[in-house]
């Protein structure tokens, strides 16, 4: 394993270069960005979210004659943005059919599903995989956390931050 220490501007520059020059850019979202969420403080996460939305979004969603055309890899990019968005946080209590007691997860919503980031009901918090989903029938209680302000988002782009992904 290689450990690098990058500030948020350096991290964004690395991501941007990988996305713009790599045929396997989707691995950037699964293996680098997603796995880095809990290594960033709130300010760094908000900075990265905004600049990815502003500068990288057009690489995956082209505007063509008034319609948006998704490009290859758009789903992993949108998924990573949803996971990074601090206002897209839910506390979900769920219980599977073989579980003796409910478990509590810190989740985000993407494609209409609750996706766990962390299992918070255990002594050792465990980061969850990129493709993990909590089945609807297991969900007992959902609590939504408030949408914090992102100081990086200018007034004319506030809808990007406040209109949460489904």
Mean pLDDT per 10-residue segment, the chain (166 residues):
83 89 78 89 95 91 76 89 94 90 92 90 71 94 91 94 76
* 19 shares a domain with 60: yes
- 43 with 80, same domain: the answer is yes
Q: Which of 149, 148, 130, 154 is nearest to 54 (CA)?
A: 154
Please give the model's pTM, rounded to 2 decimal places: 0.88
- pLDDT (0 to 100) of residue 61: 85
Measured distance CA(36)–CA(29) in Å, rounded: 10
Residue 163 domain-assigned? no
At 124 the pLDDT is: 55
Does residue 113 share a domain with residue 79? no
Q: Are residues 22 and 39 in the same domain?
A: yes
Which domain, by its residues, includes 53?
8-85
Give the per-residue pLDDT at 71.
82
- Give pLDDT, residue 125: 63
Whether 75 is covered by a domain: the verdict is yes
Please report whether residue 156 resides in a domain.
no
In a domain, 23, yes or no: yes
**Same-domain status, 105 and 45:** no
Helix (H, G, I), strand (E, B) or coil at 156: helix
**Same domain, residue pair 80 and 21:** yes
Same domain, 30 and 13: yes
pLDDT at res. 162 = 87
Q: How many domains does the chain have?
A: 2
Amino acid 110: pLDDT: 95
146: left (phi over 0), alpha (psi -120 to 50) or beta: beta
- CA distance linking residue 70 with residue 49, whole number of Å: 19
What is the distance between the alpha carbons of residues 151 and 83, in angstroms, rounded to a whole number? 19
Asked whether residue 158 is domain-assigned, the answer is no
Q: Residue 122 has what pLDDT?
A: 61
């Amino acid at each position: 394993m290689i450990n690098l220490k990058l500030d948020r501007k350096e991290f964004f520059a690395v991501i941007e270069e990988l996305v713009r020059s790599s045929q396997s850019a989707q691995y950037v979202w699964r293996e680098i960005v997603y796995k880095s969420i809990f290594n960033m403080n709130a300010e760094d996460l908000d900075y990265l979210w905004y600049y990815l939305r502003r500068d990288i979004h057009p690489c995956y969603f082209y505007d063509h004659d008034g319609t948006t055309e998704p490009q290859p890899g758009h789903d992993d990019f949108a998924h990573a943005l949803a996971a990074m968005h601090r206002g897209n946080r839910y506390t979900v209590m769920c219980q599977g059919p073989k579980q003796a007691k409910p478990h509590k997860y810190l989740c985000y919503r993407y494609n209409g599903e609750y996706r766990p980031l962390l299992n918070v009901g255990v002594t050792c918090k465990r980061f969850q995989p990129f493709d993990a989903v909590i089945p609807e029938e297991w969900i007992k209680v959902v609590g939504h956390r408030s949408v914090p302000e992102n100081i990086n988002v200018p007034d004319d782009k506030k809808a990007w931050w406040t209109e949460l992904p489904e």
